[in-house]
Structure 1
Amino acid sequence: MFYFVLAIHIIVSLMLVGIILLQQGSSADLAGAFGGQGSQTAFGPRKAASMLTRLTAWGAAIFMITSLTLTVMLSRSSGEHSVLSGTAGHPVTQSQPKK
């Protein structure tokens, strides 16, 4: 099950990279470079959601769900629950500065 979720996670992440690179920015024209956005909103004028925007939203949701699923699966499979749990038997030594 872990490898299946990992494969979906990798496929979705590659799909997201492609979809995001295909999208046009909110102020990608020449007027946007000099501040003429045509609207007073922070990220440019609001457009209707295109198919690429919807695919990005769904891809991001699936990416987050698979990320959380992989994290839970890995935490349940390993016996240690902390990064520092393996350092209890090793004393910490500090080096002295040279004089």
Structure 2
Amino acid sequence: MIIALVILHVLVAVFLVGVVLIQQGKSADLAAAFGGQGSQTAFGPRGAANLLTRMTTYSAIIFMLTSVGLTILLSRASDRSVLSGHTPTQQQQSAPKK
């Protein structure tokens, strides 16, 4: 279960990075106001923005859910704390030498 969730988490992370990099910035609307509307868009100027925005939102939600799920599963799988292997050592204070 944990391995499948890790694989899904990595795939969603890579997909999320790709979708975010494909999106145009908000300043692209300013260029369109002066006649610089791009004809290279596959979905039209509005369709791509809505599709990419939805894909970003869904992939971000899945990424957060898999992060929380991995945290819960890994904490239950190992019943020890991060500091459980640490043994406290007593520091001996010696008197300052003159």
Which structure is richer in relative contact order (CA contacts within 8 A, separation 6 or more)? Answer: 2
SS at match of 2:83: helix
Partner residue, 2:57: 57
Q: How many residues align?
A: 79
| Change over 3 Å in CA distance of 1:60–1:92 after alignment to 2 | farther
TM-score (norm. length: structure 2): 0.67
Aligned residue identity for 1:77 = A
TM-score (norm. length: structure 1): 0.67
Instruction: Give every structure 1 segment of 4 or more consecutive aligned residues whose post-TM-superposition deviation is greater than 6 Å.
Output: none
Larger helix share, 1 or 2: 2
> Hey, what's the Cα distance between the residues in 2 that align with 1:29 and 1:11?
31
Structure 1: which 5+ runs fail to align?
32-46, 95-99
> Hey, what's the Cα distance between the residues in 2 that align with 1:28 and 1:92?
63
Residues 3-30 of structure 1, C-alpha deviations (whole Å, 9 max, x = no match) = 1111110110000010000000112477
C-alpha RMSD of matched pairs (Å) = 2.9
| Change over 3 Å in CA distance of 1:9–1:92 after alignment to 2 | farther
* Largest Rg, 1 or 2: 2
Q: Does 1:73 align with 2:92?
A: no
Residues 65-88 of structure 1, C-alpha deviations (whole Å, 9 max, x = no match) = 0000000000000121x322322x
> Hey, what's the Cα distance between the residues in 2 that align with 1:92 and 1:12?
47
| % identical equivalent positions | 49
